[in-house]
Amino acid sequence: MNGGPPNEYHTQPSATASAEPRKRRSRQPATRKRRRPNLTPTENGSMPGKYGPYTLANASAAVMAMPVHDPKPVDISKRRTLDPHGNPLRTRRFGVMELDDSYPSTPDNFMNLKGLSPELTCVRSCDWTDQPCGLFIEMDKTSIDGHLWYWHGLKTTATPCQFEGCEDTEDMKHWGCHIEGVHFETSYQCAYCNRHLSRGDSLSRHLRGCKPFAASKERAPRGAYQQANIKLVQGYIVPAVSAT
């Protein structure tokens, strides 16, 4: 989808968050950690999901509902309708956008977008050209990897990137990293010296030599230090709760 430029949105942890001892955020009781979706459809055919009901992917749909931001809907007539296990793929709707939330998720899936209110999430369209899915992906590596596995059947890492306009012809090893950094333009900022870095691993390397970071760590009570990471994302901000 190449509609207008996405709304730009930068997330940052709140200023106080970094100084506080690490708090375990458990949005779900531990027993539900490995949540499997409840596959019993309700009367109207939708299924319970993390933030709202799923609807079954419509096998006969040729285009997705047109988002207000996107005048050029993707032709999804060839898209997969079954998951790798042969079950129907499920999606949930985010307002006018159809967002994939059907892959197995990890408990911290959405916690990367610190600073964004829990009612909101940030998505970008998937521009995978082999069997276009017409979906939006949430902005973290786990979601991206899960999406590619689930919707595009990416089983092996030994394949080049199929994102539209991708100039990287090498076989890909770190899909989440590549798509997040190259196609979704996610970047990172050192919370201690404000230096911008394009990738999470370069931020980690940078921190090893960052003097303000070392000084901040020094001042913190023993064992209570939490590193502040600033992840800069750009995309559509949509309600994290299904709006339909």
CA dihedral 150, 121, 6, 99 (to 10 degrees): 30
Q: 100 vs 240, which CB is nearer to Zn ion? A: 100
Taking the complex as a whole, the smallest distance from the CB of residue 36 to Zn ion amounts, in Å, to 22
Q: Could you tell me which stretch among 66-74, 77-85, 106-114, 163-171 binds Zn ion (CB under 5 A)? A: 163-171
Two structure tokens written together for 145: 């990897």
Q: Provide the mask over 115-144, with x wherever binding to Zn ion is found by CB under 5 A and - wherever it is not.
A: -----------x-x----x-----------
Identified binder of Zn ion from the candidate list 54, 136, 163, 184, rule CB under 5 A? 163
Q: How far apart are CB 167 and Zn ion at their closest, in Å?
A: 8
Q: Is 215 in the site for Zn ion (CB under 5 A)?
A: no
Binding flag, residue 210, Zn ion (CB under 5 A) = yes
Q: Residue from 161, 203, 230, 240 that binds Zn ion (CB under 5 A)?
A: 161
CB half-sphere exposure, 33, CA atoms < 13 A: 5
Q: Least separation, in Å, of the C-beta of 137 and Zn ion?
A: 7
**In this complex, which beta carbon is closest to Zn ion, that of residue 41 or of residue 206?**
206
